[in-house]
Structure 1
Amino acid sequence: MSIKIKHLAATAVAGALVSVAHAQSSVTLYGTLDESVQFTNSEKTAGGKAGPAWALANSANNTTVWGIKGSEDLGGGTHAIFDLESQFGINNGASSISGYMFSRQSWVGLKDDRWGTLTLGKQYTSVTDYLCPVSAYCTFGGNTSAHVYDNDTVGGSYTVSNAVKYESPLIGGWHFGGMYAFSNAAGQFQNNRLVSVGTGYDHGPVHVAAAYMSATNPASANAAGAVNSNMGYAIAASDQTVLGAGARFDIGGGTAGLLYTHSTYLSLASGNLLGVSAGEDLRFDNYSAYGHYPLTHALSLGAGYTLTTEHLSGATSATLHNQQVTMEVDYDLSRRTLLYTEAAYQHVSGGNGLSLSYAEITDTGIPSGTNSQTQVSVGVRHSF
């Protein structure tokens, strides 16, 4: 009897799985695993001392994630789609953001060939969607080449909760999109909400994009709102805006690009991770140029330069100039696996000893003990 019951149960489960597989056009398990041996010439400790550091580093090149995405054909050119994605560390297997099963993305929606795509849930902003593809970050450099503190979120340092996003189909090479993320607080419609829009043009070797984002009171105590401090949001402020534009050109087998972004943080919150006094205003202007070229079918070289001007105003007034050079050599072992060597040097001038005057390559997350910092990573990246 027991064997028969087990057989019937197995048959029922198999039948259910077949039904699910039939109804769902496709379900894909995907991810990126990135690990490297990393040397940083100067890292400041909690005690105020600084020195060189050797480490096994996760996500020096690309953020380590795993996810599940799917699409169901509803007929007539319409699909039901979803994406669930989580960030974690290979070093210890721990989730990068405690308490979040899917810390990067979790959304569901509909995609129509004629009318575009509508999605709801935790998602990237239009700034990341449109400007990352024309940046060094998405072209070759990954986390190491992100603008200082990822102040413009081009590198996708955080995603947004409670978001409704629309993306148009391609029309004559153009596409556009927008997002609104709710505060989800009764009687506080603007308390921690976010709006973003973007547009892009893709035709042959030319790719052009522009985007804008505005977050109202993202440092609010309303943790259920659009932005949460646990989501990688380092520069907590009462209001945040980002605007930018860039272009990428495919030249021969290589790529070259330019990107400008302007970020504004008004009335910094207490406890912000930059060590700046509460109530100050902070503005960033990022100017970057980059190139990536394949030397052989497997070997490629990338290089980028970014100048970031930081303006601090309020009780304290200062202007800083942050310059960073990034270089990377990649060797493709296969379509999904590559070996890389990445090096970055950053130098900050101005600041008169303020916390902002300490160099901090975005990938390290730890400021130098001086106004310069050098980092070298040798690692492997595998995608599935």
Structure 2
Amino acid sequence: MKTRLACLAAMAVLPAALPAAAHAQGSITLYGVVDAGIEYLTNLPTAGGTSHDTVRMSAGNLSTSRWGLRGNEDLGGGLKAIFTLESGFDLDTANVNQGGRLFGRQAFVGLQNQYGTLSLGRHQTVLYDFSLTYDPMAVASRYSVLSHDKWLSGRADNSLKLTGQTGGLYYGLFYSTGYDSSAGGEIPGDYKAGRNWSAAVGYSAGPLSARVVYDEVRGSTVATDDNRERRATIGTAYDFARGRVFAAYRWYYGDFATSSLRTNLYWVGATYQVTPAITLTGAAYYTDVRNSSGDPYSFVLTGTYAFSKRTDLYTVLAFAKNNEGSSMGLGGFGPSLNRSATTLTATSEQVGAGQNQFGAIIGVRHRF
């Protein structure tokens, strides 16, 4: 009994005896987005080899549905500890995205000060950060620049990321020792397999900003570790009174054991706030496949009506035009990692060669 009383007394006085550093200020925030709508899509392929129009529920159209925890602790002297855990899911089925990972969108811990943030874990790449800033559609899940190149929203396991801003200068460095743990991850004795690294630099002055990024990724297995895919992007944006205009370019070169592929991707667009509640966004994308006339275009127009700061109603209209045997569907196509062919790889929703596709969505999005 005396031992228990002594323990209770010690616990009562312990907080007063701890140094002031133990009482550092911190916070944890629960946040998220839920987004779903109804989609009409033409020329959707069927198992029988034909194609038909369809009307279906479509989740994560402007923003992938997600929930997350974000926290920080003030360590003093301008230094903070930070972390983010973010899970993505389909609202219509409640299935987890990113290969079933619990926190597949982001999961990292790190330190932050006035010079930048250094973190370790699973991150979105600095190429993804570029796309968020310079794609007029902000890499929306449906009909954005991702229709032409999915890797522009790349994420990587086992990664270290450094980003910062000094005055108008932006900088970013990224390195992964195994970008996809489900496809091999980190392989002992093989320093090339699964490596992904990126570097970015940008500058902003008043309404004008620009950024360049270089990204390189290796095959994820011992057999494919000499496969190398390289991307370089440059983008610029200009803010005016009620909107923003964008222009960007992405160079791609895939170098494989028996083949290679080179493409150029261009896009332009603008966003305009018609009223405090209504915003319009338009964009045009074009992929030039070297040594091929199969070069697809896509065009997107989006309108949103904000009921409040957290809830909006939206509609999206898009059209994909295919030339000379190209088969890009609005669901996406583009260079895919560790390929060994010289043609672009489409998703399961590719259209027939030379077919065009029209899509329309009306939906609602809520942020919390």
TM-score (normalizing by structure 2): 0.83
Partner of 1:217: 219
| Unpaired stretches in structure 1, ≥5 consecutive residues | 1-7, 16-20, 226-236, 269-278, 312-316, 352-356
Aligned partner of residue 166 in structure 2, secondary structure? coil
Number of residue pairs aligned between Structure 1 and Structure 2: 328
Q: 1:300: how far off?
A: 1.4
Q: 1:281: how far off?
A: 2.7
2:273 corresponds to 1:294: yes
Partner of 1:86: 87
AA of the residue aligned to 1:289: V
AA of the residue aligned to 1:346: A
Q: 1:282: how far off?
A: 2.7
Partner of 1:366: 349
What root-mean-square deviation, in Å, do the aligned CA atoms of Structure 1 and Structure 2 show? Answer: 2.5
Does the Cα contact within 8 Å between 2:36 and 2:57 map onto a contact in 1? yes
Q: 1:144: how far off?
A: 2.9
Q: 1:79: how far off?
A: 0.4
AA of the residue aligned to 2:365: R
| Unpaired stretches in structure 2, ≥5 consecutive residues | 1-7, 16-21, 179-185, 333-346
Does the Cα contact within 8 Å between 1:325 and 1:346 map onto a contact in 2? yes
Cα distance in 1 for residues equivalent to 2:205 and 2:32: 29
AA of the residue aligned to 2:331: T
Could you say which structure has the larger radius of gyration?
2
Partner of 2:132: 132
Matches within 5 A, 1:192-207: 192-207=194-209
2:307 corresponds to 1:307: no
Partner of 1:144: 142
Partner of 1:43: 44
Matches within 5 A, 1:1-384: 25-113=26-114, 115-138=115-138, 142-147=140-145, 149-151=147-149, 153-154=151-152, 156=153, 158-168=154-164, 170-183=165-178, 184-218=186-220, 220=221, 238-267=227-256, 279-311=258-290, 318-351=292-325, 357-362=326-331, 366-369=349-352, 370-384=354-368
Does the Cα contact within 8 Å between 2:80 and 2:112 map onto a contact in 1? yes
Structure 1 stretches (4+) deviating beyond 4 angstroms?
Answer: 21-24
Q: 1:362: how far off?
A: 3.2
TM-score (normalizing by structure 1): 0.79
Aligned partner of residue 144 in structure 1, secondary structure? coil
Q: 1:368: how far off?
A: 2.1
Cα distance in 2 for residues equivalent to 1:46 and 1:266: 33
Does the Cα contact within 8 Å between 2:280 and 2:303 map onto a contact in 1? yes
Identity of aligned residues (%): 28
Q: Render the CA deviation track for 1:270-323: whole Å, top value 9, x for unaligned.
A: xxxxxxxxx543332111110111111101111111111123xxxxx6342111
Does the C-alpha gap of structure 1 residues 150 and 120 become closer, same or farther in structure 2, counting only changes over 3 Å? farther
